Structure 1
């Protein structure tokens, strides 16, 4: 398993697939389509059926059930989901991975020519992996374990299931989506008629043992303000400065309820951007809260603020849009379907992995998919420091992520076969 995982990972990170913010088309970059085509061929060679690759590069394949003749009843249909894109954080799109053999606990030199290091003083988590092999980039890019470690895990698990027909399982769906890093845009184009599953898993968070089934409810607000321009020599009583209107609007929000002043399950309204000139201003807000009621109240407060500003500046033309981006996975989990989460913890117990349950201050593709009636919790890839050139992947943890997927598949069969 170990070498197959590493080989697949190196192969997939060699395909540059950064997504790009602000592009209307899905996928936002051609590299994601290229990777989807590579995966489609790999999945076909590994025996998946009903393969479909949409215009938006959502790739879906089905592994038929493998059950003994004496099995009675039905197994749930289960999906495993990874995203095709790596994040664009102004680093090189070209990933050059390397393996640090038998890590000894020192600073890691990623790139001697450019003097790029992962410093233990800044990343003390490195100390957990002394004596292990660790995959890193060359420091000029992210590593891309987010989310190509998951892709390698899914393909390797598929290969193991196909090679050993004593590993019984129900129908499994393998799903790969683009543009997760730019607002879960790819997941929102899934044709769910091709995904008749009971629940699913994303493999898209960090270190060994991490479990996520609680994420933000997320929304955005875009507020456009049209003022009245005038030359300063005749501006008195005429000029209406949209920039100042925007500033007054922004000042209505609590400065202690912002990303830099909150943690845990605290929510916030984030003034993400303001653009303005003499005539127009545009304010972009991100709304986040784990609690659904508080989230709805934050949206309501934004609307109240806008109405107040309209009263204060009756000559300004103010228009806005409020959009729900994704939901909290936990809101989709009920007493009837919570076994999808239970399987994660049982798999960790069987594999002697200590769970680290976190309320994610963000979202996964599962945060949207869960709103479609398919609860989709998330478990670890094994990597650290996503979205930076200090991202690294201990191979032991990577291997355990793959073991987790395989163990969950086994558990679903054995629990139903009791």
Structure 2
């Protein structure tokens, strides 16, 4: 069979689509008890459903939990495994996602990029090594007062543009393809209520990675630890020898954490950490929340034991003070699942090679929706979306890298069909 040359496609709409999506505020909320954590995430999801239906994806819909499901029908007689492409619509609460003003810096030539709404925010060439590979590209940033939202509206836009191209280029042969857009990934709840039976996919790919050409098959394993300290509260005028402030105990626990190891600021590559993310409370009661991370799942228990020993040592200094220590599993290293299905990565690496990039297999010092999806029964590595400096005002992405991501999605779909004929 003679296959259509996917790399000849030039009618991309991904950058325009992306710049439209980032202007819709979809910031999630880690303190909310609802799902999704913010209703405004559905504003983008509803738009996606409308655009998918206009493309001809008649089953596209938004469910009660804020998930968008859609199907691109097969256009081949071959029996091809059903694959899914997935991205999340929410942006991180670490930096405002309201009133994002995307800007295009055309034909980038290596200069520092000063963002106009706050000239103190400068994307410096010598501090962002990947800018070296962007000469001649069109760089998209925010204006200096918000994040951009490339994590992961770039992935959303790339999947949407790939869907449009698959529907308008029937000469690209592929099996049935499922699309899934999730809320609340940034607050760790992205696939909490996803219906995998309804989705009906065998394998998946999240489009949520960073540098063009990368594909990730390994994440941290992750636990959360909630420590609640019960202090002894006495009127401060009569507190001598009697009061033991829970908040001061919590501060001592933070102060006793390792300074030269086991923290995000002192570790890299495969090294794990114990990281306090929030402390709140008062004299009577205080709470500290920790995240525990390592690529080796067995090490989580080791780190939790270290943390508990530190807490016990501190609490012992304060007679009558007590604490609780609650561990909650968050996600596990998806490599444990993906190694059982090497063909998924083989297709991803081959697709990246076919778009003219040098494939780079990476590990993530973090997690994706794919981490949990893999353990739920949908093996799911993470493909590059092209964004950089996520979660902050210096976030940036290249229009040309987004187009490469669209082509990678098309090649993944095509290669699965091609291999099914062997």
Q: Same fold (TM over 0.5)?
A: yes
| Count of residue correspondences | 412
CA distance in 1 between counterparts of 2:135 and 2:199 reads: 42
8 Å Cα contact 1:52/1:59 also seen in 2 = yes
Q: What residue number does 1:408 align with? A: 412
8 Å Cα contact 1:224/1:282 also seen in 2 = yes
CA distance in 2 between counterparts of 1:333 and 1:142 reads: 32
Distance 1:241 1:166, change over 3 A: same
8 Å Cα contact 1:111/1:117 also seen in 2 = no
Q: What residue number does 1:18 align with? A: 27
CA distance in 2 between counterparts of 1:245 and 1:370 reads: 40
CA displacement 1:294-352 (0-9 Å, x = unmatched)? 123323444555666677767334223211111111111233x1211111111122222
Structure 1 stretch 109-118 or stretch 17-26: which is displaced more? 109-118
Q: What residue number does 1:139 align with? A: 144
Distance 1:78 1:230, change over 3 A: same
CA distance in 1 between counterparts of 2:195 and 2:27 reads: 23
Structure 1 stretch 190-199 or stretch 339-348: which is displaced more? 190-199
Distance 1:107 1:330, change over 3 A: same
CA distance in 2 between counterparts of 1:358 and 1:167 reads: 29
CA distance in 2 between counterparts of 1:117 and 1:238 reads: 52
Offset at residue 117 of structure 1 (A): 3.5
CA distance in 2 between counterparts of 1:250 and 1:141 reads: 30
The question of 1:44 aligning with 2:53 is answered: yes
Q: What residue number does 2:390 align with? A: 386
Structure 1 stretch 194-203 or stretch 134-143: which is displaced more? 134-143
Q: What residue number does 1:195 align with? A: 199
Distance 1:315 1:153, change over 3 A: same
CA distance in 1 between counterparts of 2:169 and 2:81 reads: 21
CA displacement 1:108-136 (0-9 Å, x = unmatched)? 23317756542323334323222222222
Secondary structure of the corresponding residue to residue 125 of structure 2: coil
CA distance in 2 between counterparts of 1:4 and 1:329 reads: 32
Secondary structure of the corresponding residue to residue 188 of structure 1: coil
Offset at residue 286 of structure 1 (A): 1.0
CA distance in 2 between counterparts of 1:360 and 1:113 reads: 31
Q: 1:324-343 residue pairs with structure 2 within 5 A?
A: 324-335=329-340, 337-343=341-347
Q: 1:206-245 residue pairs with structure 2 within 5 A?
A: 206-231=210-235, 234-235=238-239, 238-245=242-249
Secondary structure of the corresponding residue to residue 161 of structure 2: helix
CA distance in 2 between counterparts of 1:50 and 1:354 reads: 36
The question of 1:4 aligning with 2:13 is answered: yes
Secondary structure of the corresponding residue to residue 65 of structure 1: coil
Offset at residue 237 of structure 1 (A): 5.5
Q: CA RMSD in A?
A: 2.3
Q: What residue number does 1:154 align with? A: 159
Secondary structure of the corresponding residue to residue 216 of structure 2: strand
Q: What residue number does 1:174 align with? A: 179
8 Å Cα contact 1:2/1:399 also seen in 2 = no
8 Å Cα contact 1:140/1:389 also seen in 2 = yes
Q: What residue number does 1:279 align with? A: 284
Distance 1:112 1:57, change over 3 A: closer
Q: What residue number does 2:3 align with? A: none
CA distance in 1 between counterparts of 2:81 and 2:394 reads: 39
TM-score (norm 2): 0.90
